[in-house]
Amino acid sequence: MSTTSIELIYQTISRAFASLGYNIHKDFNDINELIQQIILADNSLTKDEKIKAIEIINKNHDSCKILFNVGTKRICENCNQECLATLYCENCIRNYLKSNFSNWTSKNVNIDNFIQKCQMETLKPNGIVEWIPYNNLQNIKYFTKGGFSEIYTADWIGGWYNEWNSKNQQLERVKEPRIQNNIGKVILKKLENVENASQNWFEEAKLHLTITNKYPRIANCFGLTQSPLNGNYMLVMKKFDTNLRNYLQQNHNQLTWKERIRITIEITEALGWIHKYENSVYRDMHSGNILYSQYTDNWCISDFGFCGPVDKSLNSIYGNLPYIAPEVIAGRKYSFSSDIYSIAIIMWEISFGKPPFNNYEHNYYLAMNIINGIRPKIVSGTPLKYKELIKQCWDADPLKRPDDYTLGVKINEINVSYQNMPNELGVDNNNLKVSNLGINYTRHGSFTSKVHQFENFPEPKNATEEEQEVFHSKPYDFSISTNHIDDFNNLNDQNYVDVSKTNSISIDTNNNHKIEKIQPIKRHTITIYDKDDEIYNNPNLHPENDDFEIPDG
């Protein structure tokens, strides 16, 4: 089957799911039946394409049955064990992987055990964590550096596991029209200090890697490799076409509201899987971590749980400042509600087409304004219900934000109202009305995640409409004043809206990673590169570079 046919199949499946809206709280058996009905009724697909589409849907349905341990069990004709999958046997796959334990090694007992544990929780043939020999990777090229990690692109000879051959009782590597000569395009992300990681880290890493291969809309991680040149371990990940930040810059003026809402649904659904079924918090949700595959026409959140330097101090936080909830800036822990706040900022970005606060330095002043309730300005033309939902999700009080279930219900209501609207509907209803929105703009903030240290902040509060207007009407002043130092003794009792750029004092003695210490005492942002403040790379990291384009397999 041609690449064009496969792309059409995935696009049709994506449209079918979009028509059903936010799905994680629905019965997945019912969803599977509805999706099949939609596919069979779709006249854009040939008979063979419909058969292939149903096969893809049923494979995903099999993994859901195993994940949630529901459905009618059968006796596998090969291993004689009970299994839930119908297109393959989960026990046969795990037995096959176990029988191959002696055929590979990372030469590190902890990593071998870690990968073996991941493999024994395999749910589907195309979701397997493995040790990938470095000599199976070719054309390795430096791509960029994001946050605390160097990123490379590479070709994986043979590619990843994709199918279970019941007749031959073995896993088979990917065979798709887009995978030429059995070479898969992947991203490598360098990890440091893995050899010194604690056992707790390996347990947490196993949890996170298995999560990436459990749920839809969470980008897969194929496993680990190690460079023989320097001994560095690397994550091997799917390569997507672009991230949400770049996608919006390039396509903002062409997007209908129907499409914007679909993007919002897929992102919130991914977060819902993590919240509901793993009882876990994402922590670093921003548009650079949301990835798009044109081939499958879907959105995924990436690299869940691989978040920040392992040695950051207890009073510091790791994240992308405009997306961090005010209570986290003020010193509280990340929570489900702080993830919902980040979703609100992303919803705003989807409506506006640019990153939040892109004309402001990511420093103490912006942090204080967020604490005092300043939010990005909602643009004219945003649907009322969508606007109201954004405001609820970014409320300064975490208890007033909706949980993921309520968020899903409200997104569905908005989705239903737009499903029957034609894509060519006029600008007043279906397309966003924004003046002077080109895709080129000056970025003053760094749209990568980093370590922040905030001290002595007040309790977060909501700003009034007047305070919001004062902030957004204030001219930008990015000049550095070297002779003037402001006194912030009474700053905590004010609504601070000074957005001017701060002095930056850098001391670089050892080329160590950056940590930004910010205190409300003087008008300085102090960036220290000092041995005592060295931040080691966490083997658990997000692809936080804003230009990170990790395309899908």
Is pLDDT above 60 for 478? no
pLDDT band at 306 (very low <50, low <70, confident <90, very high): low
> How many Cα atoms sit within 13 Å of 510 on the Cβ side?
12
Using CA atoms, how far apart are residues 262 and 21, in angstroms rounded to an integer?
8
Within 10 A of 47 (CB to CB), how many other CB atoms are there?
7
In this prediction, residue 422 carries a pLDDT of: 63
Confidence of residue 384 (pLDDT cuts 50, 70, 90): very high
What local confidence, expressed as pLDDT, does residue 245 receive?
95
pLDDT value, residue 213: 84
Residue 362 has pLDDT above 80, yes or no: yes
Phi-psi region of 305 (alpha: psi -120 to 50; beta: other; left: phi over 0): left
pLDDT value at 244 more than 60: yes
- Local confidence band at 155 (pLDDT 50, 70, 90 cut-offs): very high
**pLDDT of 532 over the 60 cut:** no
Q: pLDDT for 396-414, tens place per residue?
A: 999 999 999 999 999 988 9
Name the CA radius of gyration of the chain, rounded.
Answer: 24
- Other CB atoms within 10 Å distance of the CB of residue 2: 9
Structure tokens at 180: 């030429």
Distance between CA atoms of residues 167 and 78, nearest Å? 9
Q: Order of strands across the sheet with 130-131?
A: 130-131, 221-226, 233-238, 183-191, 149-157, 137-146
pLDDT tens track for 55-113: 999 998 999 999 989 889 999 999 999 999 999 999 999 999 999 999 999 999 989 99
Mean pLDDT throughout 16-27? 73
Both tokens of 82, joined, read: 């009970």
Per-residue confidence (pLDDT) for residue 423, from 0 to 100: 58
SS3 141: strand
What pLDDT sits at residue 537? 32
Q: What percent of the chain has pLDDT over 70?
A: 73
C-beta separation of 324 from 342 below 8 A: yes
Characterise 431 by phi-psi region: left (phi > 0), alpha (psi -120 to 50), beta (else): beta
Q: Does position 520 have pLDDT exceeding 80, yes or no? A: no
